[in-house]
Amino acid sequence: MATHKPQVFIDSAALEISWRDERRNLSELIFDTVRRAIDEGGAGMTGINSVVLAAHDLVDGRSLSSMVTAPAAGAYLRDEIRYGDDGAAAFAAAVVRIEAGEAERSIVAAWGRASEHDVDSVSRALFGPLFGTPLGLEELHVSAMRAQSWIQAGGQCDARAEAVARRRDAARANPRALRGAGSASQPSYPLAPDDLPRWADVVAAVIISSRPGGPRVTGMGQSSEPFAIGDRELAAMPGLARAAQQALAEANVAAGNLDVVEIDGLTLFDEALAAEAIGVAAKGEGLNTLARDRRVNPSGGSAAGYCAPAMGLARIVEATLHLQGRAGTNQVAGARRAMATGSSIVAAQTHTAIVLEGI
Amino acid sequence: MSQSDLITIPGRWNFEYTYFAGKSATRFFRELVDNRRIMGTKCPACERVLVPARAFCDACMERTTDWVEVGPEGTLETFTIITTAFPGLPKPPIVMAYVTLDGADTALINLVHGEDLTDIDAAARRLNSLPRVAVKFIDDPKGRITDFSFELLSQAAPRNDARPDVGNPAR
Amino acid sequence: MSGVAIVGVGQTTYRRSHPDMSSRELIWAASKEALDDAGLSIRDIDVVIAGVAPDALAGEASVERSGIMGIGKPYVRVNTGGVTGSSTFFAGASYIKAGRAKAVLVFALERMGQATTSQQVFNTIFDPVYEKDFPLTTITMAALRASMLMRLYGYTEQHWARIASRSYQNARRNPLAHLHLDVSPEDVLKSPLLAWPIHRYEACPMSEGACAMVLMAKDSIGARKPVWVQGYASTSDSYAMGDRIHRPEATLVDLLSLRLSAEKAYKEAGVTNPVKEIRVVELYSAFSSAEAMAYPALGLCKAEEGPRFVERQFTDPSLPAFNPSGGPQGANPVSATAMVRIAECALQVRGTAGDRQVDGVERAVATGQGGATQFSTVCVLGKNPVH
């Protein structure tokens, strides 16, 4: 007996990137963006019986942080779940709920407020007390080693300055990019300051439903890699490659046919290598692609503002806005098919790839 | 491998945070200091007065509008008598309770004074009868929730049911 | 939509600490047992969902990341505090119902054996703006609810003591439980008062351990003996307990979120007369007094009849058996506790619960609680699939 699986559509998408807005506590910051997504969804809270969240206690600064934050995201007397994982993974879980017939409409929200916590010290805690934390290892160090390993394997660096400039320009043209100060960590070789993410306060919210109207989720993939950095193929990002392949296969779309590709990566190099893993750049040419391919990260990527674990959902919001024709000054004209990716702790260990199709 | 051969690694879990209280909580605390009053905010949809004052009603997902003074008296809804010490607080035994101040639709937690705690069980019986309390401010409020506490009123008046439960939170 | 069944269960022992095991080894032990029980290898699993609640209790940020099994699969982590174990289970079931997986491994790990200051960690779950200055703890929150139950429905300290004693006696028949203590109601009342009216023996121990289950789609089960997931639901409430006192629908201790979850789960499962149809109830009651909120919310009795319902539990064999495993008072590995309730129900339905087996279990119900009774889950398991 064939089972009818509901299709999933995006009703609305909202994103706010800010810095140290002391007028709003964390819950109020979350409320504002979730409320905006509800308003733009055009149907209020009608039919919303599910709330799927991505947030990390260490980022929020309180254990079981969803006690105070879930209500701000519409959880009151609803079926709410919080993933301590990247926002795109929460999005995938919400899609699954609708496909399972468990939800009609669902809020998906993810956030991280870099101005309230010390990003580097949380990052150091991620690598485990036995073999990682005692060495002071941070996710940005892994990004640096990933870049170095790629350079050693013959990755082309000629277009590096051009890629940096393009990223900066894209962030300037992105209406949603950080306008405040933000903050930044110290780079370690071979990374330079311009390669690094701008830490920011990020809240992303999306409403999905089984009712047609907005962009459709046509493909989804999720995959994972070993925890120990020494066990991984750092430059190849095989987990992301698998997730992207799965999503593209399900959507019946080739990477070359994507109009917008919003890639989550901590640094310029992570984004470049991710582009290769996804298949929008040939091996070794990731920086060239970031420098010249207007389809890739029109948002400006991590230069527009970054805080885990919000970013996979922020990428989904950006991709959605392009498909809706509402991206604003950085709009990619005629965008019909998009991919968004999200990579979670630790140092891009697990990945989610989503393919969307507009009308 | 015996127990004594197993390695243990000591560690500290120590992260620094700066929590932004936000405009609403800031104003709530300022009202304690400047005007010695407790404020709630009203949800325009369900019409509940929410205390402490806050920027939005989570039941309705609506921003609150009016700021409303509540109290200075109220009803003690439920309590516990704490028998272990806590840093920065009076020596135990102490009473902690939820109090619904007059005019509020939600209860507020704070310490309660004025009960004779020499016989804990007898005190518990008295406290478990919805007694009336009044807000009592410290001499030098600082803008913290500990600027006030509740004092049992000597007359054990019957519970004030004048304010009906208003509205149904919109879903 | 595919029917979902449990085909494998694995649990480590629950103890104050497991000094001979790393976090990933605990995960592996429970997961391997569940996989073996299901006759599967990790290669047969399509999705892995990990449940780990506050990292601060373990003092490790990525316990589940280091414990990853079967590289290359979708691998996500749930953190919903006390209901983590059940949220994780439900999330796994959704992947099967959506047709995105045929076999899912779910596990939940509690590593609080590494914590030396757990009560301070529990304090950090409360609001740093309004509540940091108070001794808000899970204990004082439970005490506030217990007082209200006594005022509204006439419960006494004796009721709390009898429930606690029953849990300890049940735990003595559960080799996995943390505590095996011969505690009488008098022993409970003589134990130190923590916060009136809660005595020490009404609270739960600090336990660590891991629990895992394998879920499978109906069409893939083959010759395995399934325990059917007949219905489940989760409901989240407002954060502040003070916001839940004057609600017209239900006051604080009437536990609206649990009632709503029970109604949804029962509807899905086709349960219409719970007190007759449910043979075993595994409750997430971290304090013995918390059980009292669950009975009416689960539709087992009216709230006003609660005290009498407790008394009848000791004389009326037709009533469901409560926490035959000993419940959270026997072992409370916080991240896993809600999953352990489901696992214990599964063993009861299968008839493999050993000395703690209850006779004739067709259906069992497991509950989960998280936050200060902010999150409530209900899961109905049974011998037969629902049509």
What's the CA gap between A69 and C116, in Å, rounded?
27
Residue C126 has pLDDT above 70, yes or no: no
Burial C87-120 (b: 16+ CB within 10 A, else e): bbbbbbbbbbbbebbbbbbbbbbbbbbbbeebee
Tell which C residues from 174 to 203 touch A, by Cβ distance under 8 Å: none
Residue B168 has pLDDT above 50, yes or no: no
Residue A203 near residue A234 (C-beta atoms within 8 A): no
Contact A38 B171 (CB under 8 A): no
Contact C77 A101 (CB under 8 A): no
Q: What is the pLDDT of residue A131?
A: 85
Contact B128 C144 (CB under 8 A): no
Contact B78 C148 (CB under 8 A): yes
Q: What is the pLDDT of residue A102?
A: 97
Does A307 map to a domain?
Answer: yes
Residue C328 near residue C204 (C-beta atoms within 8 A): yes
What's the CA gap between C105 and C108, in Å, rounded?
10
Q: Is the dihedral of CA A80, A86, A90, A93 positive or negative?
A: negative
Q: What is the pLDDT of residue C112?
A: 84
Count of the separate structural domains present in chain B: 1
Residue B120 near residue B102 (C-beta atoms within 8 A): no
Q: What is the pLDDT of residue A153?
A: 96
Q: What is the pLDDT of residue B6?
A: 86
Does A322 map to a domain?
Answer: yes
Residue matched to tokens 């300290």: C157
Q: What is the pLDDT of residue B163?
A: 36
Q: Which two structure tokens, joined as six digits, stand for B93?
A: 């035994």
The beta-strand segments (E) located in chain C are 4-11, 47-51, 75-78, 103-110, 193-196, 198-199, 209-217, 227-236, 280-282, 321-322, 363-370, 375-382
Instruction: Label residue C355 by pLDDT band (50, 70, 90).
Output: very high
Count of the separate structural domains present in chain A: 1
**Residue extents of the structural domains in chain C:** 4-116+207-215
User: Residues A10-33: what's their mean pLDDT?
Assistant: 97
SS3 C136: coil
Q: Touching check for C54 and chain A: CB below 8 Å?
A: yes
What's the CA gap between A35 and A311, in Å, rounded?
19
Q: How many CB pairs under 8 A join A and B?
A: 72
How far is residue C195 CA from its own chain's centroid? 24
Q: Which two structure tokens, joined as six digits, stand for B18?
A: 């700066």
What's the CA gap between A264 and A275, in Å, rounded?
10
What count of other Cβ atoms lies within 10 Å of the Cβ of residue A189? Answer: 9
Structural domain containing residue B124: 20-152
Chain A residues within an 8 Å CB radius of B56: 28, 31, 35, 72
Does A59 map to a domain?
Answer: no
Question: Residue C354 corresponds to which amino acid?
Answer: G
What's the CA gap between A266 and A144, in Å, rounded?
10
How far is residue A132 CA from its own chain's centroid? 25
Instruction: Label residue C124 by pLDDT band (50, 70, 90).
Output: low
Contact B19 A21 (CB under 8 A): no
Chain B residues within an 8 Å CB radius of A112: none
pLDDT digits (tens, 9 = 90+) for C42-82: 999 999 999 999 888 788 888 899 999 999 999 999 999 99
Does A110 map to a domain?
Answer: no
Q: What is the CA radius of gyration of chain C?
A: 19
Contact B59 C241 (CB under 8 A): no
Q: Is the dihedral of CA A55, A60, A66, A71 positive or negative?
A: negative
Distances (CA, A) of C331 to A168, A222, C143, C336, C341: 54, 34, 20, 10, 11
- The CATH fold assigned to C4-116+207-215 is Peroxisomal Thiolase; Chain A, domain 1 (3.40.47)
Q: How many residues does chain A have?
A: 359
Distance between B74 CA and the closest CA of chain C, angstroms: 13
Q: Which residue of A has its CA nearest to C118?
A: A63
Does B7 map to a domain?
Answer: no
Q: Which residue of B has its CA nearest to A133?
A: B11
Does A185 map to a domain?
Answer: no
Does A65 map to a domain?
Answer: no
What's the CA gap between C257 and C241, in Å, rounded?
12
Q: Which two structure tokens, joined as six digits, stand for C360?
A: 């004739």
Cis peptide before A296 (omega within 30 of 0): no
Does B10 map to a domain?
Answer: no
Residue matched to tokens 């983590």: C84
Residue A54 near residue A83 (C-beta atoms within 8 A): yes
Structure letter (DSSP) for residue C44: G
Q: What is the pLDDT of residue C338?
A: 98
Tell which C residues from 138 to 197 touch B, by Cβ distance under 8 Å: 140, 143-148, 150-151, 192-197
Q: Percentage of residues in chain C with pLDDT exceeding 70?
A: 95
Structural domain containing residue A301: 216-357
Chain C residues within an 8 Å CB radius of A342: none
Contact A129 B9 (CB under 8 A): yes
> How much is the ipTM here?
0.97
Residue C379 has pLDDT above 90, yes or no: yes
Does B50 map to a domain?
Answer: yes
Q: What is the pLDDT of residue B164?
A: 37
What's the CA gap between A81 and A58, in Å, rounded?
18
Residue C72 near residue A224 (C-beta atoms within 8 A): yes
Q: Which residue of B has its CA nearest to C20?
A: B6
Q: Which two structure tokens, joined as six digits, stand for C84?
A: 């983590």
Q: Which residue of A has its CA nearest to B17?
A: A117
Structure letter (DSSP) for residue A46: T
Distance between C165 CA and the closest CA of chain A, angstroms: 30
Query: Would strands B73-82 and B132-137 be described as parallel, antiparallel, or unpaired?
Result: antiparallel
Distance between A193 CA and the closest CA of chain B, angstroms: 24
Residue B162 has pLDDT above 50, yes or no: no
